[in-house]
Chain A
Amino acid sequence: MEELNDDELQDFLDRSIGNIEHTSGEKATADLLAYQDLFKALQTEPVQGLPLSFASNVKRKLQEGLNRKSDLRFNILAAIIVMLSLLLAYGLLQLISQATAALVLSMVVKFKWVLASVIFLFFSFLLIDQRLIKREY
C-alpha cells in the first residue's frame, strides 16, 4: 500500500491516463484515479473571462497614452521655438538698432518676474493637464 512519490506522479502525468491498469497496488490505483480527476479539474479554464472587446480596449488605451505623449512633446517644442524666435529677433534688433535692442532688454529685465511667471504657468498648465487626462483613463 505505498503512496505515489513525485516522480511516479509526474510519470503518470506524462504517460497520461491509459496505463492505470499497469499500476500495482489498490491504493496506488485509487490515488491515480483521484489525481486523474484532479488534473482534469486543474486544466479546466475559468468560467468567466475577459470581454470580447478587451484587445481593442487595450489598443485604445495605448493610443491615448501615445497621443498624450506626442501632445506634450509638441507643446514643449512649440515653447522652445517661441523662445528661440525671441532670441533671434533680439539678435536681429541688435544689428539694426542697438538703442532699441537695449530698450527691449531693459524692459525684459524690468518685467523678468512677470515673464518667468508666464513661463512657469505655461509648464504647470501642461503638467496638470497631463495628470488630469491620465486620471480620467
Chain B
Amino acid sequence: MFDENEIVNRILKNDLRAFELLVKQYEKLVFFVIHRLVQDRQNKEDICQEVFIKIHHSLPSFRFQSKLSTWIARIAYLTAVNHIKNIKNKSAYEYPENIDNYHFTDENPENELIKKNTSVYVNYLIEQMPLQYKTVLTLYHLNEFSLTEIKDITGIPEGTLKSYLFRARKLLKEKIEKDLKQENTWKS
C-alpha cells in the first residue's frame, strides 16, 4: 500500500526509487489536470515532467497540512495556468472577461463527426470552455476532489466554485440536448 509519509521521508533522503513510486501513484492525477487545461497537444508530457520536477524540488517545504494529492494537484494547476498565460501572450484569442456570459459557438462540420461518442464530444466541448469551468469540471468529476479541496488547489472561494460547476454542467447538458434534438429532427 502507498504510504504518503514513508514515501515523502524516503524522497527527502534522496531515494529516487521512492520518487519513481510517487510519480507512478500521481501521474494520472497530474495528466488529467494538464490534459484538460492545456491545449498544447505536443507538450503535455513535457509539462507533466516539469510538474514532477517541481514537486521534487518543493517537497522539503511540504508540511502535511493538506493531503499530498491536493498539494500535487495545486502544483499541476499552477503550472498549467502559467503555460496557458504563456500561450495566451503568443496568440490573439482570449476567453470573454465575464465568464457568466459564456456560450458555446455555433455548429461546425468537425462537431458532427465527434458527436457520435458522447464522452469524446463532452471532452471536445470542455476544451472550448473558459479555464475556470474546465478546472472545476476536471478536478470535481475526473480527479474526484471535493469542493473544499478544489478551493485549496485553486484558491477560488467554495461558493464561486459551486456556481461554476453548476453553470458548466448546465451549459454542457443544454448543448448536448440541443444537438441531440437537432440530430433527431434531421433523422425524421
In the bound complex, do residue A39 and residue B53 qualify as a contact, i.e. CB atoms below 8 Å apart?
no
Residues of A62-93 whose CB lies within 8 A of B: 62-63, 65
Number of B interface residues in the complex (CB < 8 A): 36
In the bound complex, do residue B45 and residue A51 qualify as a contact, i.e. CB atoms below 8 Å apart?
yes
Q: Which residues of A contact B173 (CB under 8 A)?
A: 31, 34-35, 38
Q: How far is the CA of A73 from the CA of B16 in the complex (A)?
A: 20
In the bound complex, do residue A43 and residue B141 qualify as a contact, i.e. CB atoms below 8 Å apart?
yes
Q: A34-B173, A43-B141, A62-B19 are in contact. Are A55 and B166 (CB under 8 A)?
A: no
Name A49's contact: one of B28, B36, B121 (CB within 8 Å). B28
Give the number of residue pairs across the A-B interface with Cβ within 8 Å.
85
Known: A62-B52, A62-B56. 15 other contacts (CB 8 A): A37-B176, A38-B172, A41-B118, A42-B122, A42-B137, A46-B36, A46-B123, A54-B27, A54-B49, A55-B20, A55-B23, A55-B24, A58-B49, A61-B49, A62-B16
Interface residues on A, range: 20 to 34
Q: How far is the CA of A10 from the CA of B140 in the complex (A)?
A: 12
Listed by A's residue number, 19 A-B pairs whose Cβ atoms lie within 8 Å are A35-B169, A37-B118, A38-B176, A41-B119, A41-B122, A42-B142, A42-B172, A44-B122, A50-B48, A54-B45, A54-B48, A54-B49, A55-B21, A57-B49, A58-B23, A59-B17, A62-B16, A62-B19, A62-B53
Binding site for B on A (CB under 8 A): 6, 9-10, 31, 34-35, 37-51, 54-59, 61-63, 65
